[in-house]
């Protein structure tokens, strides 16, 4: 198995407040993550970032502190950083600008518009698209994809969530990734084969071979 480790942005405030079910303080929890992240089979530090959808304003300071600690950890270890950004685009970018992003930075389940995609592309970030990009009403997300060079595109399931069209509502699973890849090929104007080969190469470069 390969993997990634991090304190999720919705857990970080609970550690900071001492209410997390694990009983671990923030410092104890982060120390454990930092230790695990050194493992050879841990290929990415994430998902970390900011989530203003599930966590209210009272949790923001703790989320930002945790995000910054994970950025520093990814840099120290030379591993990719994988960002969870939910309804927090502005502050995620602010933190990255302030601290400096790791060389390899991935926005998982990218949910920004074309303007944010351009900003991320300019900085060399990778944008990972989930089944949401196939939804009929996701015009903004497809516009974001259309301004992203294929070489900076990744694909993911976020299973069991974000199931691609036409199976929206059913549990998501890796066998449905081809539906998302088809949309990626269509929007970026390449054949499905080219899209798959390019995304596969990018994934191997970022995360290493299986
Ligand atoms: Zn996430």
Q: Determine the pLDDT at residue 210.
A: 77
Task: Return all residues near 32 (Cβ < 8 A) that are at least 6 apart.
Answer: 24
What architecture is domain 3-207?
A: Alpha-Beta Barrel (3.20)
Q: How much of the chain, in percent, has pLDDT values that exceed 70?
A: 100
Mean pLDDT of 151-161: 96
Mean pLDDT of 170-174: 95
Tell me how many helices (H) and strands (E) the chain has: 8, 6
Distance 81 CA to ligand 1 centre (A): 13
Distance 160 CA to ligand 1 centre (A): 12
Distance 125 CA to ligand 1 centre (A): 16
Mean pLDDT of 113-130: 98
Q: Determine the pLDDT at residue 64.
A: 98
CA-based Rg of the chain, rounded to a whole angstrom?
A: 17
Q: Determine the pLDDT at residue 154.
A: 98
Helix H or strand E segment including 115: helix 114-122
Distance 155 CA to ligand 1 centre (A): 13
What are 14-72's pLDDT values in tens digits?
Answer: 999 999 999 999 999 999 999 999 999 999 999 999 999 999 999 999 999 999 999 99
What are 190-207's pLDDT values in tens digits?
Answer: 999 999 999 999 999 999
- The pLDDT confidence band at residue 174, using thresholds 50, 70 and 90, is very high
Helix H or strand E segment including 166: none
Q: Determine the pLDDT at residue 5.
A: 98
Distance 201 CA to ligand 1 centre (A): 23
Task: Return all residues near 175 (Cβ < 8 A) that are at least 6 apart.
Answer: none
Distance 41 CA to ligand 1 centre (A): 20
Distance 42 CA to ligand 1 centre (A): 17
In angstroms, the Cα distances linking 139 to 45, 75, 103, 114, 117 are 30, 34, 30, 10, 14
In the block, tokens 């949910």 appear at 111
Residue 99: pLDDT over 80:
yes
Residue 115: pLDDT over 80:
yes
d(CA 149, CA 67): 27
Distance 4 CA to ligand 1 centre (A): 12
Distance 108 CA to ligand 1 centre (A): 6
Mean pLDDT of 73-90: 98
Distance 190 CA to ligand 1 centre (A): 28
Residue 79: pLDDT over 90:
yes
Q: Determine the pLDDT at residue 209.
A: 83
Q: Give the chain's mean pLDDT.
A: 97
Q: Determine the pLDDT at residue 1.
A: 81
Q: Determine the pLDDT at residue 160.
A: 96
Residue 118: pLDDT over 90:
yes
Judged by phi (left if over 0) then psi (alpha if -120 to 50, else beta), residue 102 lies in beta
* DSSP β-ladder status, 105-108 and 126-129: parallel
């Amino acid at each position: 198995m390969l993997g990634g480790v991090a304190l999720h942005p919705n857990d970080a405030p609970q550690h900071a407040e001492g209410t997390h079910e694990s009983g671990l303080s923030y410092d104890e929890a982060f120390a454990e993550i930092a230790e695990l992240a050194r493992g050879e089979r841990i290929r990415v530090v994430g998902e970390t970032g900011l989530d203003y959808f599930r966590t209210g304003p009272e949790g923001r300071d703790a989320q930002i502190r945790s995000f910054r600690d994970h950025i520093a950890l990814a840099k120290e270890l030379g591993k990719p950083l994988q960002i969870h950004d939910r309804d927090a685009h502005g502050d995620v970018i602010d933190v990255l600008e302030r601290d400096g992003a790791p060389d390899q930075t991935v926005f998982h389940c990218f949910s920004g518009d074309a303007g944010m995609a351009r900003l991320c592309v300019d900085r060399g970030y990778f944008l990972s698209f989930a089944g949401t990009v196939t939804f009929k009403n996701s015009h903004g997300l497809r516009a974001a994809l259309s301004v992203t060079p294929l070489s900076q595109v990744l694909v993911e399931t976020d299973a069991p969530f974000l199931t691609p069209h036409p199976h929206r509502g059913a549990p998501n699973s890796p066998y449905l990734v081809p539906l998302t890849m088809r949309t990626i090929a269509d929007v970026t104007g390449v054949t499905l084969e080219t899209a798959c080969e390019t995304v596969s190469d990018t994934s191997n470069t970022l995360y290493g071979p299986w």
